[in-house]
């Protein structure tokens, strides 16, 4: 096989391209009608009341941290096995990142350790939790919510890996990632390696109307054009220079916001991609099932245990006894496996910002062995068989 096989890749068809071209030919490149359409469709898809489209997943995290009012010195708990951006939003606001070790079965925050961590600090010092649906496995946010209520915390769900993923609650009901029932805010990314590609792009979903309004304001410079929100007295009777100034040009800046807008042609692409998201999920789950079958009962490698209902399989992770050997072997065969992720407390920046000397044995052990195999909807059966045969060849050789 000559063509290389990446660990993940986007899939764009003619429908997607037509949607973008149509928007490029319209009157709006940005701040047009596609944004609201995409937001509405996305909220509908995940089952939340509100959605705010932004320029990327990192901006979604930053705005979330701002509206939840993270202040210098505030402590926020997250997982060491995630992309840096998850934790960076805390640092943007001057907060402190506290890491909790992972459960070696799920690779998600270990809830029993989370409980211990919360109990070990004086109440009120830890302000929130950023849960990550790592690899596409939905965190059981109902459990987090109970803790959050007990300790008066907010929850951000980083669902970048898991649009369409869900967990089953104690009544056996599907709780979709980002549905806003248990988290205050959930965030998504539309980077090309994620499920839905918009070039760059992000989304925040919530059921909290106040947070929703704050997010909208901060996305566009903190400026509002809505008369009912104006703070200045602009009535005819007022004696200021602004008296009767409510004309088309009038607007007010209320907060120090940003330009974190998504463009209309990105929203058009996102909307078109969203229509195919469920088809992609079906294929991802098929691929995972085939990997699981192939690697069952082996000693030197461990696939993700069983088929997990609701898993969105952004990644398929294998744990290998000889990870470096397997990495090199597969790379030589043009299978571009990756490692997700280097634990956050190994990052020089985080060592310099409070995480030097932190010990998280499960995360560290996971990092020694993990490898992400190719996982994307357009991976062909032939390519999939080739990947499996190569892994088995290495393991049996």
Ligand X SMILES: *Cc1c(COP(=O)(O)O)cnc(C)c1O
The contact set with ligand X (CB under 6 A) reads 56-58, 82-83, 85-86, 132, 158, 160-161, 189, 191, 202
118: exposed, middle or buried (C-beta count within 10 Å: 0-12, 13-18, 19+)?
A: buried
Give the closest residue to 109 by CA, choosing from 397, 356, 350, 366: 366
Q: Burial code of 306-329, b = ≥16 C-beta within 10 A, e = fewer? A: eebebbbbbbbbbbbeebeebbeb
Quick one: 85 or 108, whose CB is closer to ligand X?
85
Quick one: 57 or 391, whose CB is closer to ligand X?
57
Minimum Å gap between C-beta 25 and ligand X is 27
Quick one: 56 or 207, whose CB is closer to ligand X?
56
Minimum Å gap between C-beta 380 and ligand X is 25
Q: How far is CA 201 from CA 6, 128, 130, 196, 336, in A?
A: 21, 25, 20, 9, 25
Residue nearest ligand X, Cβ-based:
57
For 105-121, give the DSSP string. TT-SB-HHHHHHHHHHS
Minimum Å gap between C-beta 188 and ligand X is 8
Could you give the CA distance from residue 51 to residue 237 in angstroms, rounded to a whole number?
A: 39
Minimum Å gap between C-beta 129 and ligand X is 15
Quick one: 311 or 333, whose CB is closer to ligand X?
311
Minimum Å gap between C-beta 337 and ligand X is 17
Could you give the CA distance from residue 204 to residue 206 in angstroms, rounded to a whole number?
A: 7
């Amino acid at each position: 096989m000559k063509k290389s096989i990446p660990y993940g890749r986007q899939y764009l068809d003619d429908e997607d391209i037509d949607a973008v071209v149509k928007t490029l030919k319209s009157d709006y490149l940005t701040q047009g009608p596609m944004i609201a359409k995409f937001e509405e469709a996305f909220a509908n898809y995940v089952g939340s009341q509100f959605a705010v489209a932004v320029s990327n997943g990192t901006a979604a995290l930053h705005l979330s941290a701002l509206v939840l009012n993270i202040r210098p010195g505030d402590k926020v708990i997250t997982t060491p096995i995630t992309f840096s951006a998850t934790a960076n939003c805390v640092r943007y606001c001057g907060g402190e990142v506290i890491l909790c070790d992972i459960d070696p079965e799920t690779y998600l925050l270990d809830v029993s350790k989370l409980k211990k961590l919360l109990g070990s600090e004086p109440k009120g010092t830890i302000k929130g939790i950023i849960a990550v649906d790592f690899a596409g496995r939905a965190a059981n946010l109902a459990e987090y919510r109970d803790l959050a209520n007990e300790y008066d915390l907010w929850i951000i769900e980083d669902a970048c890996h898991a649009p369409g993923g869900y967990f089953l609650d104690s009544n056996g009901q599907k709780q979709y990632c980002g549905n806003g029932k248990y988290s205050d805010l959930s965030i998504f990314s539309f980077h090309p390696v994620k499920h839905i590609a918009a070039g760059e792009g992000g989304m925040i979903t919530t059921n909290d109307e106040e947070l929703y309004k704050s997010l909208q304001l901060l996305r566009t410079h903190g400026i509002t054009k809505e008369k009912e929100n104006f703070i200045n007295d602009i009535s005819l009777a007022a004696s200021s220079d602004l008296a009767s100034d409510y004309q088309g040009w009038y607007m007010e800046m209320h907060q120090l916001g940003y330009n974190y807008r998504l463009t209309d042609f990105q929203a058009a692409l996102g909307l078109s991609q969203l229509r195919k998201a469920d088809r992609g999920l079906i294929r991802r789950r098929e691929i995972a099932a085939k990997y699981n079958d192939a690697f069952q009962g082996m000693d030197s490698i461990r696939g993700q245990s069983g088929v997990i209902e609701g898993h969105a399989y952004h990644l398929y992770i294998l744990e290998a006894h000889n990870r470096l050997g397997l990495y090199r072997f597969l790379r030589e065969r043009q299978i571009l496996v990756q490692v997700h992720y280097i634990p956050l407390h190994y990052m020089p920046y985080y060592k310099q910002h409070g995480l030097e000397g932190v010990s998280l044995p499960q995360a560290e052990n996971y990092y020694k062995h993990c490898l992400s195999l190719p996982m994307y909807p357009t991976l062909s059966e032939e390519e999939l068989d080739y990947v499996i045969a190569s892994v088995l060849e290495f393991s049996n050789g």
